[in-house]
Amino acid sequence: MMQPPPGPGGRPGRRGKIDKKDLEQLRESPVSLRRIGALFAPYRWKIALVVALIVASSVISLATPFLVRAVIDDAIPHQNVSLLLWAVGGMLAVTVAGSLLSVVQTWISTTVGQRVMHGLRTQVFSHLQRQSLSFFTRTRGGEIQSRLTNDIGGMQSVVTNTATSLAANITTVVGTAVAMAVLSWRLALLSLIVLPPAIWLTRRVAQMRRAVTARQQRRLADMQSQIDEGLSVSGILLVKTLGTGPVLSDKFARTSEDLADLEVHAQLSGRWRMATMNIVFSAIPAVLYLVAGLPATSGGMTIGTLVAFTGLQGALFRPLMSLLDVGVSVTSSLALFSRIFEYLDLPVDIGDPAEPARVDPENVAGRVRFEKVTFRYEGAHRNALDGIDLDVPAGAQIALVGETGSGKSTLGALVARLYDPTGGSVSIDGVDLRDMRLADVAALVGVVAQETYLLHATVRENLRYAKPDASDEEIEAAARAAHIHDLIVSLPEGYDTVVGARGHRFSGGEKQRMAIARTLLRDPRILVLDEATSALDNDTERAVQQALDAARTGRTTITIAHRLSTVRDADEIVVLDRGRIIERGRHDELVALGGRYAALATRAERHGAGPLGQDEVSSPASQREPAAVRSG
Ligand SMILES: Nc1ncnc2c1ncn2[C@@H]1O[C@H](COP(=O)(O)OP(=O)(O)OP(=O)(O)O)[C@@H](O)[C@H]1O
Ligand SMILES: [Mg+2]
């Protein structure tokens, strides 16, 4: 029985059918070969060397069958020792040379592939970082990850292997075919008849196996997401609170059973595949022996020729199979490039201006001005902000109130230039934000968002993220001012305690105080505070309130207020409704006006100092203290 030699062309590519998604991708955004060529251009000499090495090792390996023939037909029958030594030495030399060449070839081609991949990966990463927030809200979370890790990572295996195995397979197939014809044209003709059905059969069996494997992978993915849904912190919270445990267990059991069945199928079809290959690889030489042995068809062929021919035949099989799948590998490689280029070609909609205004963050007073600002989210049917005119003097304290969805967070996002207004302008000290460098805007405007993002790192690292060169003393001072220091030192390892996944170990109020500490470290002139909407208990609320007061002092502050206590002392209260300003003034003025704010304030008073402009359903009044106690 004969196994095909792994040879230079023996590397299995991505066999099977062309992926429909790949075709669609290429139809939507075709790739130019010139652009791909440009990526590899700096390495053209190395690539030429790789091709030369591949051709050389294929050609060298063709010598073996001729050496075999010499040994069997001449050296052994005639007891020609010197020829025998030469031939055997030659065989050894061919294998050693071939192996060495393939090591060098792999080294060079992998290096080139990895260099190109590294370049693309870092380019995509920094390009995506420059995308505006709207890109991330419209892109599914996993997709970006998948492009950066799978698509670019896949380049090495798909692109480099496709290119090298293409070169190797073509040279092997052509070389072998020529050698076969030279050795015996009769047997070469016979191969033309025997090989096609053998290849067809092998491919069929392989396809069946692939189908099972694909189903297995889908089921495995199901199982993984079920484990994630059932056994992660957020997942288990949902399971326990919704009481979905038994349902989830049933689902898991079904998936697990399916997987068990599929594994049996997979094992069996794997066996079938091996069995077919074995039969094919034994049957082909057997047929050759038959034809060469029968007097009618032998044509006076020598034994050496027959053995040498059989060897060549075996070497032809795999490269031929791979070449049949070249369409698939090339398509999936092109689709990879297409996806990567698509990301690289995304325009940066919010970027640095060509001629940035000179801004010295140290000397900015901090006057924020909205002029006729209109804003509509991509794909939305109505404006989130509509004709906003707002002038916040330097150092003033403004409170934004309004029903949920009225546009408060959107207004805050425009101050930090997370979005550009659809109409009108937002300026700081008279300079349009679009004329400032993004780094200056970031230095000027601090944001404490409704939700705080904590990194999976120590508390200290989480705080230092806001100011990488902050000393430990600065960090501690900021934490004290944000009323979070005492809590941090009470943790098992103090400032070196690792924040759990997404900060689950911290309450909403604690996370927000961490965010405030970060802002204090950055010390921005202008502060946008989006108060947490969740109900806080009294002690926490007081601590958060004090932290917020610390954050506000000495800066222009726009507070998106959900609590009456925050609003009372504001220099101006702005009431938003469906993206428009409907009332503005100080607390007493607005209460006297008897409009929307007055209604909100009365409702809040009744339920205990808040919540302002929120449904009673979302913040149950029962969790709050009576107004009399709060306002003390
Ligand atoms: N990324 C987005 N894409 C499309 N529409 C959005 C997006 N973000 C917000 N909106 C819509 O814009 C409007 C204003 O939203 P915004 O978040 O500013 O409200 P809000 O006043 O902060 O509400 P809340 O008090 O609940 O925080 C809402 O109708 C909302 O559905
Ligand atoms: Mg909001």
Would 16 be classed as within a structural domain? yes
Would 46 be classed as within a structural domain? yes
Would 245 be classed as within a structural domain? no
429 and 568 in one domain? yes
Would 317 be classed as within a structural domain? yes
559 and 440 in one domain? yes
Mutating to test ligand 1, I would choose from 134, 381, 383, 409 the residue with most ligand atoms within 8 A of its C-beta, which is 409
Distances (CA, A) of 429 to 315, 506, 566, 572, 573: 76, 38, 26, 19, 21
Asked if the model's pLDDT at residue 611 lies above 70, the reply is no
| Contacting residues for 156 by C-beta, under 8 A, at least 6 apart | 110, 113, 114, 117
For residue 570, the 8-state DSSP code is: -
413 and 322 in one domain? no
**In 3-state terms, what secondary structure has residue 576?**
strand
394 and 323 in one domain? no
Mind listing the pLDDT tens digit for each residue in 171-186? Answer: 989 999 998 888 888 8
Query: Do residues 612 and 401 lie in contact, with contact meaning Cβ atoms separated by under 8 Å?
Result: yes
Asked if the model's pLDDT at residue 423 lies above 70, the reply is yes
388 C-alpha to ligand 2 centroid (Å): 17
Distances (CA, A) of 488 to 491, 507, 517, 523, 532: 5, 13, 12, 21, 20
135 and 23 in one domain? yes
409 and 538 in one domain? yes
Asked if the model's pLDDT at residue 631 lies above 50, the reply is no
The tally of domains found in the chain comes to 2
Mutating to test ligand 1, I would choose from 132, 134, 140, 377 the residue with most ligand atoms within 8 A of its C-beta, which is 377
88 and 39 in one domain? yes
User: Could you please report the per-residue DSSP string of 320-380?
Assistant: HHHHHTHHHHHHHHHHHHHHHHHHHT---SS---SS-----GGG----EEEEEEEE--TT-
Would 54 be classed as within a structural domain? yes
410 C-alpha to ligand 2 centroid (Å): 7
**In 3-state terms, what secondary structure has residue 420?**
coil
Mind listing the pLDDT tens digit for each residue in 524-553? Answer: 999 998 876 555 666 777 777 777 877 788
In this structure, the strands spanning 423-428 and 397-402 are unpaired
pLDDT value for 330: 85
403 and 312 in one domain? no
- What is the percentage of the chain residues whose pLDDT exceeds 70? 91
Asked if the model's pLDDT at residue 94 lies above 90, the reply is yes
Alpha carbon distance 130, 312 (integer Å): 56
Give the residue among 208, 200, 197, 195 at the shortest CA–CA distance from 273: 208
Would 409 be classed as within a structural domain? yes
Would 435 be classed as within a structural domain? yes
Mind listing the pLDDT tens digit for each residue in 233-292? Answer: 878 888 888 888 888 899 999 999 999 999 999 899 889 888 988 888 888 888 888 888
Query: Do residues 259 and 220 lie in contact, with contact meaning Cβ atoms separated by under 8 Å?
Result: yes
CA dihedral 46, 49, 54, 59 (to 10 degrees): 180
Alpha carbon distance 239, 229 (integer Å): 8
Residue nearest ligand 1's atom 5 by CA: 377
Q: Is the pTM of this model over 0.85?
A: no
560 and 439 in one domain? yes
pLDDT value for 610: 53
The residue range of the domain holding 77 is 8-184+304-348
For residue 182, the 8-state DSSP code is: H
What CATH number does residue 590 fall under?
3.40.50.300
408 and 308 in one domain? no
131 and 56 in one domain? yes
27 and 100 in one domain? yes
Confidence of residue 13 (pLDDT cuts 50, 70, 90): very low
Instruction: Please tell me the least confidently modeled range out of 249-263, 386-400, 442-456.
Output: 442-456
Alpha carbon distance 401, 69 (integer Å): 93
Mind listing the pLDDT tens digit for each residue in 49-80? Answer: 999 999 998 889 889 889 999 999 999 999 99
For residue 72, the 8-state DSSP code is: I
Give the residue among 395, 439, 390, 430 at the shortest CA–CA distance from 411: 390
528 C-alpha to ligand 1 centroid (Å): 16
Would 490 be classed as within a structural domain? no
What CATH number does residue 67 fall under?
1.20.1560.10
Highest mean pLDDT among 320-329, 356-365, 596-605: 356-365
Residue nearest ligand 1's atom 1 by CA: 137
pLDDT value for 608: 60
